Amino acid sequence: MLTGENGILTQAQRAKTETENAQAEEENILANYEQYIEGSTNGGTLTTVTGNETSNTTVQDSLGNKVVVPAGFRVVNPGDNVEDGIIIEDVSHGATAGSQFVWIPVGTIHTESKGDITITLGRYAFDDLGVASEYSGSYTEDTVAEHTYDNTPAKDITTFISKVNSTGGYYLGRYEARTGTPRSNANDALTQITVKPDDYVYNYATQLQAASLSQGMYTDTNFTSDLMNSYAWDTTIDFLQKCDDRTDKTKPYSQQNSLNQSLENKGTNGTVTEDVICNVYDMASNCYEWTTETSDNVGYPCVLRGGYYNDSSSYYTALRGWGSTSYSIDYRAFRPLLYL
């Protein structure tokens, strides 16, 4: 009864072994889940992405921060960490190849000098000291179903919010939208947009044109392109302020006025500029930028953000301003984003 094949001791040992095996299997599954969440099972570190991947790749920086790289993109600065601004570059999408975007993290990230910081996706107002609070003004970020104004809303703002919170971030155009052909007036033919360092700024575009060009920039099933929305603009400001690597921090970046006195029309990456934090250029200067946000003014439903080159007092990074659907000029541009 004690020691036979079906004895009490034998069955007890068998049960103990089965329990230990089940526990080990459970621990292995949990470890795999943890590795995935930390971004290590899909593609390893930032250095392992080549741009030849056919699906999005989850990787991590040297501090263990998660970064999801879209299919067909490579990492430009794999030796940096998320707080520095991880840059990706399109290497496989034809006319847009060479375009660059910066990863904006959402959630808690590890930094080398500031400890852990938390970035929460949201719409914000910023006071004179740069302190963020939930935006409570009259401007809205509409869903397509509820939108009744003449400007173009985001493709699907609800899906954007859901996917960004699930993925842990989104990508912002490193520069304002660019084009291979310089633009000189509102009647210029529309051309393919890029975010290439050495192309020309895509100005003289209306909000409707900016939205159409941004939303049509990519048709890849692995990710979505869209015109900048207010969640992305405000959350980016929050990230940039918390990781501000500028030498001169006299003003918080949300309140920063234009830092250049003339239009930087070409090759921002090769010029000397003060308006760059974490590899994101010109949110406080150069051009006032169209977004998908909607004002409460029926005649001027479009919303612009940021500062521009010819104003050093009234326009600043966190500013919201309205405009008509037909207006375009040299200092109004736009910036695409990507989400996965």
Q: pLDDT class for 33, splitting at 50, 70, 90?
A: very low
What amino acid occupies position 288?
A: Y
> What are phi and psi for residue 147, nearest 5 degrees?
-75, 130
What amino acid occupies position 236?
A: T
Sheet of 336-339: strands edge to edge?
73-75, 87-90, 100-105, 169-173, 336-339, 224-227
- Give the separation between CA 270 and CA 197, rounded to whole angstroms: 8
Tell me, what's the pLDDT at 15?
63
Exposed, middle or buried: residue 291 (CB in 10 Å: 0-12, 13-18, 19+)?
buried
Q: What is the pLDDT of residues 128-169, one digit of tens each?
A: 999 999 999 999 999 999 999 999 999 999 999 999 999 999
- Give the separation between CA 40 and CA 137, rounded to whole angstroms: 41
pLDDT, mean of residues 115-133? 97
Tell me, what's the pLDDT at 72?
97
Tell me, what's the pLDDT at 190?
97
DSSP H or E stretch at residue 237: helix 230-242
Q: pLDDT class for 35, splitting at 50, 70, 90?
A: very low
Examine the pLDDT at 56 and tell me if it is beyond 90.
yes
Examine the pLDDT at 5 and tell me if it is beyond 80.
no
Mean pLDDT (the chain) is 89
Q: How far is CA 9 from CA 16, 17, 21, 111, 334, in A?
A: 10, 12, 18, 54, 75
CB burial of 128-163 (b: ≥16 within 10 Å; e: otherwise) equals eebebeebeeebbbbeeeebebbbbbbbebeebbee
> What are phi and psi for residue 212, nearest 5 degrees?
-60, -45
3-state secondary structure of 65: coil
Please name which of 92, 242, 229 lies closest in space to residue 159, comparing C-alpha atoms: 229
Examine the pLDDT at 82 and tell me if it is beyond 70.
yes
Tell me, what's the pLDDT at 259?
77
Tokens 């999801």: give the residue: 68
Q: How far is CA 327 from CA 54, 306, 330, in A?
A: 40, 17, 11
Tell me, what's the pLDDT at 40?
39
Q: Please, what is the end-to-end C-alpha distance for the chain in angstroms?
A: 62
Examine the pLDDT at 21 and tell me if it is beyond 80.
no
Q: What is the pLDDT of residues 271-309, one digit of tens each?
A: 557 789 999 999 998 999 999 999 999 999 999 999 988
The set of residues, in sequence order, having a beta carbon less than 8 Å from that of 74 and lying 6+ positions away, is: 49, 50, 51, 88, 89, 91
Question: Given 3-state DSSP classes, what are the helix, strand and coil percentages for the chain, each rounded to the nearest 5?
Answer: 25, 25, 55
3-state secondary structure of 183: coil
Please name which of 60, 58, 65, 53 lies closest in space to residue 90, comparing C-alpha atoms: 53
Tell me, what's the pLDDT at 269?
53
Lowest mean pLDDT segment, chosen from 21-25, 152-156, 227-231:
21-25
- Pair 293, 140: CB distance under 8 Å: yes
- Give the separation between CA 222 and CA 175, rounded to whole angstroms: 22
